[in-house]
Structure formats: structure tokens, C-alpha cells
Amino acid sequence: MSRTARLRLFLTAAAVLAAGLIAAAGELPGFGGPQHPYGERAVAAGLAQRTANIVSSVNFDQRAFDTLGEESILFASVLGAGMLLRLARDERKRRPAAEPVLPTTRLFGATLLPITLLTGGYLVAHGQLSPGGGFQGGVVLATALHLAYVAADYLVLKRIRPLAVLDVADALAAGAFAALGLIGLASGAGYLANTLPLGTFNQLSSSGLVAVVNATVGVEVGSGVVVLLAHFLDQAVEVVPRRRSR
Amino acid sequence: MSVLPYLVAGWILLAGLYGLVTSRDLVQAVGCLAVAQSSTYVLLLAVGYRRDATAPVFSDLPPGSPVVDPVVQALALTDIVVGATVTALLLSLVIQLRKRHGTVDPEELTGLRG
């Protein structure tokens, strides 16, 4: 199909889609209105389970089974990217050279790396209490490690990044989520049901299963993002074709 | 204008789709897919918004205070995670494509090659 024909086809389809979307927007409940029946029920259920952060309660308790699927997508895509970006037969690894860095940049990285690691750990640990949780905290943890790449160079990042450990941690955390669901099953409720002791509201030990599952997700997201970025950085920095000419 | 946020979400979706259709570069196409997907974040958060309400976190809020809808916020979180991982997977496919075929223009990828 030629480019103009394709564009014309798209514009026709887009007009129909836009008309449908406008009609649908008119039928939706008004923006900012007070009616949120699902939200109110979720808040009541979350408070009953002594979870202060209702978003965490929804993710790791009320629809924990969905989150298990989501987390499996994450694991599968880390695995898939690793498969796609592995060293091919006609490629080899080159040793990356050390790069000069401004002393101010180095200071920036050296100062912020421990602070960012601490923030990430805090976000994961307090996922059931404060805004944040395993997903967000995990990404912050992975970002912290890559400050070494920004402030120093790839060699330093490689040295402080225990890739083999993180690979295993990623898989173990993904499996741990599925295994934790069996606690509910063993106590006669349902798979992934929150049957652990709920603790005191607004304490670090509150919310039962939510805190534990949240921690496994934090480990999985953190190590998954580091592994994923490692594959991409390898492609950019280390992997070169064996012969220059095609 | 109580429908404006929904229309914005629709607009972002169409802008992303336009980019996907006209793109001559697969990296750009992956970016456009991410744009199209980000319309769902706007839609979800617009559906869940509530005037004079705050975040659904009760660590320093008295129970019973009005909060925005936590269900759609949780869905947006799911959406972001899945979107990011799918983008990563697609980008690694583009890298392999560039290595094997020497191009990232979808129109130059005509035949199958072993």
C-alpha cells in the first residue's frame, strides 16, 4: 500500500474512532464527580485489612492475582529481552575503555547513590503505609545503581552490579510471589488470600500478606530493571560485530 | 468542561496512532506506541479524579475523608509496568532487526531472510 493510501485509510478510521470516543466521553460520569462506587468499596476493604495505602491494598490484596499476572509479564519480558540480546555467533565483546568524568559529576553520583538506594529501600519497605511500593521502589533502587554509570563509567557500573546474583534474585522473587499465594490456600481461604496476621494499623508490620508480597515485587522489579538495562548497555558499549564488513 | 480530560485522552491515543502509521523508523514507532498507551493513563486518572479529595493513603488521614479512586490508580500502575516492559522487549527486537537487516525503516523490510 502506498503512503498516501495508508494515510487516507488511517484518517478515515481515525475520524470514526474520534467520533466514537467523543460520544463515549459524553456518557462517562462527569470529571471530578463524587460518585466512585468501586473506589469507596476498595477503601472500605483496604481499611478493614489494616492497610493504610489503599493502592497497595488493591494491588497486593484485593486483586493480587492480577498483579501476579502483571509481575509474570515483567519477568517474561526481562527473560525475552535477555534471549533476544544475547551474544550472537558473529559478535564478540570488547573491553570498554575508561571514560573521563567531570569531578563535579563524580561528586554528584557519589553523594546521591547511597541516598537513592536508601530512598528506594524505604519506598519498598513502606509500600503498605505511604505512597510508593514494590514497583516504584524497585525502579528507584535500579536507578540508584545506574548513577554509577552516570558519575563514573561502565567499568565501575559492572564492578558494583552483581549481575549473576540479580538474575537469580529476579527469578526467585517472581517464584516467591506465586509461592506466597499458597499460604492462603493452606489456611483454607483462597489462593493469594490475605490470611496472615494483620498487625496494627499504620505500623510497619500491618496489612499481613501485602507487606510481604510488596517486598518480593520490590526485589523483582529492582533486579529485573537492572538486568534489562544491563542487556541494553551491553549492546551499546560492549558488543561489536566480529567482522566490520557485511 | 467536564469531558475535556476524556477528550484529551482520546487525542493522545489518536496522535500516537498517527505516529505509528506514518513512522519511517521502528524506534520512533515504538515511541509512538508508548504515546498511544499513555492515553490510557490519562483516561484512568481522569475517571478516578474527585474534586477536593486527596491521595488514597490513610497513614495521616482520618478514615472517611474523601479520596480519589484507588482502583483506577492501581490499574494505571499495572499499565505503566506492562507498558515499560513491552517497550523494552520491542526495542530489543528492533536492535536485532537492525543487526540482521541493516535498517530500521519498516518499508525497507520487504522479504523474509533467514
Provide the ipTM. 0.86
- What's residue A15's pLDDT? 96
DSSP assigned state of A241: E
SS3 A235: helix
pLDDT at B89: 93
- Could A70 and B78 be called an inter-chain contact, meaning their C-beta atoms sit closer than 8 Å? yes
The answer to whether A140 and A221 have CB atoms below 8 angstroms apart is no
Neighbours of A97 (CB within 10 A): 9
Q: What is the DSSP letter of A236?
A: H
**CA dihedral of residues A119, A215, A72, B85 (deg, nearest 10):** 0
Q: What is the pLDDT of residues A82-106, one digit of tens each?
A: 999 988 888 888 888 888 889 999 9
**Residues A128-147 pLDDT 10s:** 888 888 899 999 999 999 99
Is the pLDDT at A164 greater than 70? The verdict is yes
Q: What confidence score (pLDDT) does residue A246 get?
A: 46
- For the segment B23-46, the average pLDDT, to the nearest whole number, is 94
Distance CA B108, CA B68 (A): 48
Segment A32-48 shows an average pLDDT of 88
pLDDT averaged over every residue in chain B: 89
B89–A84 CB contact, under 8 Å: yes
Q: Is the pTM of this model over 0.80?
A: yes
Give the pLDDT of residue A26.
Answer: 87
- Rounded distance between C-alpha atoms, residue A76 and residue B90, angstroms: 13
Selected for mutation to probe chain A from B69, B73, B96, B101 (highest A CB count within 10 Å) is B69
* Sign of the dihedral defined by the CA atoms of residues A97, A102, A103, A109, in that order: negative
| A interface test, pick of B12, B61, B95, B100 with most A CB neighbours within 10 Å | B95
SS3 (DSSP) at A239: strand
Shortest CB distance from B49 goes to which of A32, A59, A63?
A32
What does the pLDDT read at residue A243? Answer: 63
Whether the Cβ atoms of residue B52 and residue A34 lie closer than 8 Å to each other: no
DSSP A56-104: HHIIIIITHHHHHHHHHHHHHHHHHHHHHTSPPTTEEE-PPPP----HH
Q: What is the mean pLDDT of residues B39-53?
A: 91
Burial of B62 per CB tally in 10 Å (0-12, 13-18, 19+): exposed
Q: What is the mean pLDDT of residues A113-141?
A: 92
Q: How many CB pairs lie under 8 A apart between chains A and B?
A: 159
Query: Residue A232 corresponds to which cell in the numbers above?
Result: 541494553
In which region does residue A132 sit, left (phi positive, over 0), alpha (psi from -120 to 50) or beta (all else)? left
Residue A73's contacts (CB-CB under 8 Å, 6 or more residues apart) are B81, B82, B85, B86
**Longest CA pairwise span in chain B (Å):** 64
Q: Where are the domains of chain B?
A: 4-51+66-108
Report the pLDDT value the prediction gives residue A67, as an integer from 0 to 100.
92
Average the pLDDT over each of A66-70, A116-120, A197-201 and give the range with the smallest value.
A197-201
B4-51+66-108 CATH fold = Helix Hairpins (1.10.287)
Does residue A244 carry a pLDDT above 70? no
